[in-house]
Amino acid sequence: MTTPVPGEAPRVVLGVAGGIAAYKACELLRRLRESGHDVTVVPTAAALEFVGAPTWSALSGKPVSAQVWDAVHEVPHVRIGQGADLVVVAPATADLLAKAAHGLADDLLTNTLLTARCPVVLAPAMHTEMWEHPATVANVATLRSRGVLVVEPAVGRLTGADSGKGRLPEPEALAALCQDVLDRGASAGVHDLGGRHVVVSAGGTREYLDPVRFLGNRSSGRQGHALARAALARGARVTLVAANVALPAPAGADVVAVETTAQLREAVLAAAADADAVVMSAAPADFRPAQVSEAKIKKDEDGSAPSIALVQNPDILRELVTTRGAGDTVVVGFAAETGDARGSVLDHARAKLARKGCDLLVVNDVSGGAVFGSTENEAVLLDADGGQRPVPRGSKESLAHAIWDAVVPRLA
């Protein structure tokens, strides 16, 4: 592997295997190019049946070949892999996974996979039966054990009338994953969450008054999404329980969309049953209307306003702590705090950590509302053993990695 030069465009090899989702790789290529990457496309011969070389060449601005016999004097079967900062194969077919797992090298892409020493991301797309076949399952396990990031396919419409697990995640999400992996630099090959199942809640719940009105809050879900994406880049299986989040699903995450705190509770507790870690970054409403009107609430003729009686919602974080049995699930809470006459932000946060009983508490000072919807965040990580670590202002992605850095040593 060559060392990436700071300031130079990251060199990405986009491998494309022969599946119908090859058309989506055109959009991935565009996105990678638009965000400043130097992309070399290496399709398989079968991929060229779906999308022709002129398309790849025009979009990448480079010649394209599928086999090792073109420009032999440049030794492309070795040079392309050696010079890459990232190799991503999208779509990766069952055949490509099998070849990669067994080290076969009968075309330019499989040669490239053998010579690359940079992070490798494979984004499989195939019919559910092929994905679930024991041969594919074993190949994926082999590749993951070698540090390859194999993205979980999405669930949805497949070729023809079928639907199920096997779709290529959306190009936007794959481009974001590539960036996440590149951003990790030297740590990119470290999959310290490999083989782990983590649950992340994100967004803000809505508590309905009637079919059209609700009480809500300003949480955008960005921090939760950053946590999910960071965990995926570190090799975890991720369940993202998303409450009213208008962001694209992270590539490879199992996303459960919810609206209310009751739904969030049900989804989080179900996913937590076999989880190694749960991070509650969602903002569940503490209260909900005591009654939800089936019909839209009408204005009174006399101009009087209705009073809304509220009842308290269950505390999901607390429940995660009390139901975790042997205590081997790491539970992380968030606290959006403001200081007041009774104590500082950290005084309130310490008290909350004790009250909730979780292992880590991520404390945001929200005086002034600066955090909501922003792409940046700063926090203090408090741990149950008394430790405290400030995370300076930075991207929500860097805070996400700091949180996983604190979680990893606690995993059983």
Catalytically active residues, by annotation: 217
Kind and range of the H or E run holding 45: helix 45-50
Q: Which residues bind ligand CTP (CB under 6 A)?
A: 261, 280, 282, 284, 286, 313, 315-317, 333-336, 352
Nearest distance, CB of residue 109 and ligand CTP, angstroms? 44
Q: What does the alpha-carbon distance between residue 290 and residue 309 come to, in Å, rounded to a whole number?
A: 6
Residue closer to ligand CTP, measured from CB, 130 or 384: 384
**Strand, helix or coil for residue 17:** coil
Burial pattern 372-385, b for ≥16 Cβ within 10 A else e, equals eeeeebbbbbbbee
How far is it between the farthest Cα atoms of the chain?
88
Q: 170 near 253, Cβ under 8 Å?
A: no
Identify which of 74, 62, 71, 87 has the alpha carbon closest to the alpha carbon of residue 11. Answer: 87
Nearest distance, CB of residue 5 and ligand CTP, angstroms? 41
Q: What does the alpha-carbon distance between residue 387 and residue 260 come to, in Å, rounded to a whole number?
A: 34
Residue closer to ligand CTP, measured from CB, 209 or 282: 282
Nearest distance, CB of residue 319 and ligand CTP, angstroms? 8
Residue closer to ligand CTP, measured from CB, 253 or 316: 316
Nearest distance, CB of residue 403 and ligand CTP, angstroms? 12
**Strand, helix or coil for residue 355:** helix
Residue closer to ligand CTP, measured from CB, 176 or 406: 406
Residue closer to ligand CTP, measured from CB, 338 or 388: 338
Q: What does the alpha-carbon distance between residue 201 and residue 256 come to, in Å, rounded to a whole number?
A: 9
Q: 9 near 33, Cβ under 8 Å?
A: no
Beta-bridge partners for 395 = 376
Nearest distance, CB of residue 289 and ligand CTP, angstroms? 15
Residue closer to ligand CTP, measured from CB, 159 or 374: 374
DSSP 8-state code for residue 408: G
Nearest distance, CB of residue 223 and ligand CTP, angstroms? 11
Burial class (CB in 10 A: 0-12, 13-18, 19+), 371: buried
Residue with tokens 């993205």: 151
Q: 382 near 365, Cβ under 8 Å?
A: no
Q: 387 near 357, Cβ under 8 Å?
A: no
